[in-house]
Structure 1
């Protein structure tokens, strides 16, 4: 049975991108466990804005070998790369996918997508890479919300360049 995983990087001051969506501040010369993680997933769930940003950043869609869903309030159906779902379809889809596959589901997106999953209590594991860079302002990792969740630290992996990858899981009991 798969699990839903948020695997994401943020600045030390809590931002995942600049206000314009740029991630030029993010180091990309080390893998930080990405390839190992990527091999544990079958499905990628993207936010619409993140999905659109991908095509601005690269010519080749990076998730061709995975099942891809995009959560959107405005798009429906599918295109060459993804199936679009509405926010209210998230829970039934995650329940189905978790039962039907052995690998994990990766949540790839910004605070709005993450909020959809947090308020539905659907994230099983948070893998957050904290880069020791302050960018001052930008797109925060989390929206303000009225959901409280207790997590347990499962692993803390420091890297020589200062990156720290923290893995949290839902507290049991």
Structure 2
């Protein structure tokens, strides 16, 4: 069975993006120290993200498909036409990801955002977390962990420092 993983940077106070959905603060905090992204990206073959995360990623990555060598799914409440290498979905992400986990392949990367992650947390579907904490306090924005009906226990596997960033690697603890 495939794992569902989250890999991403957040502010020290827990925000994925600022109030305008921008990630520029994250790039501004980066001191250029290489992180483990290159080794991580080789462990996945599928990305899952919300529409706003997808649209914001286009501002920072080249082309119309931020991950052209992966199978990409974007969840959106408004119907959209698929693009080359990107399938837009308006169905229940929990049911979809449960089916996807059963298929052959590498891990599945939940890129974001918070409103997509919340129902996955409520079903305890995220198997591993790589969270990079940036030394930035935003005060407001889009939270990684929205309030919800969940209580997930995690096991800390590793803590690494990459320049200004601290990365926690955690996995789901089976209860």
TM-score (norm: length of structure 1):
0.89
What is the DSSP-based 3-state SS (H/G/I as helix, E as strand, rest coil) of the residue aligned with 1:42? Answer: strand
1:145 aligns with 148
What is the DSSP-based 3-state SS (H/G/I as helix, E as strand, rest coil) of the residue aligned with 2:25? Answer: coil
Distance 1:126 1:59 in 2: 25
Residues 54-65 of structure 1 correspond to what in structure 2 (within 5 A)? 54-60=57-63, 61-65=65-69
Residues 43-82 of structure 1 correspond to what in structure 2 (within 5 A)? 43-60=46-63, 61-76=65-80, 78-82=82-86
Shift of 1:83: 1.0
Report which stretch shifted further, 8-17 or 47-56. 47-56
Report which stretch shifted further, 103-112 or 161-170. 161-170
1:123 aligns with 126
Shift of the 77–24 alpha-carbon distance from structure 1 to 2, 3 Å rule, reads: closer
| Cα pair 2:58 2:66 within 8 Å, conserved | no
Shift of 1:43: 0.2
| Cα pair 1:87 1:116 within 8 Å, conserved | no
Matched length: 171
TM-score (norm: length of structure 2):
0.88
| Cα pair 1:12 1:130 within 8 Å, conserved | yes
Distance 1:34 1:20 in 2: 25
Shift of the 91–28 alpha-carbon distance from structure 1 to 2, 3 Å rule, reads: farther
| Cα pair 2:22 2:56 within 8 Å, conserved | no
Shift of 1:31: 3.1
Structure 2: stretches of 5+ with no match in the other structure: none
Q: 4+ runs of 1 displaced by more than 6 Å?
A: none
Structure 1: stretches of 5+ with no match in the other structure: none
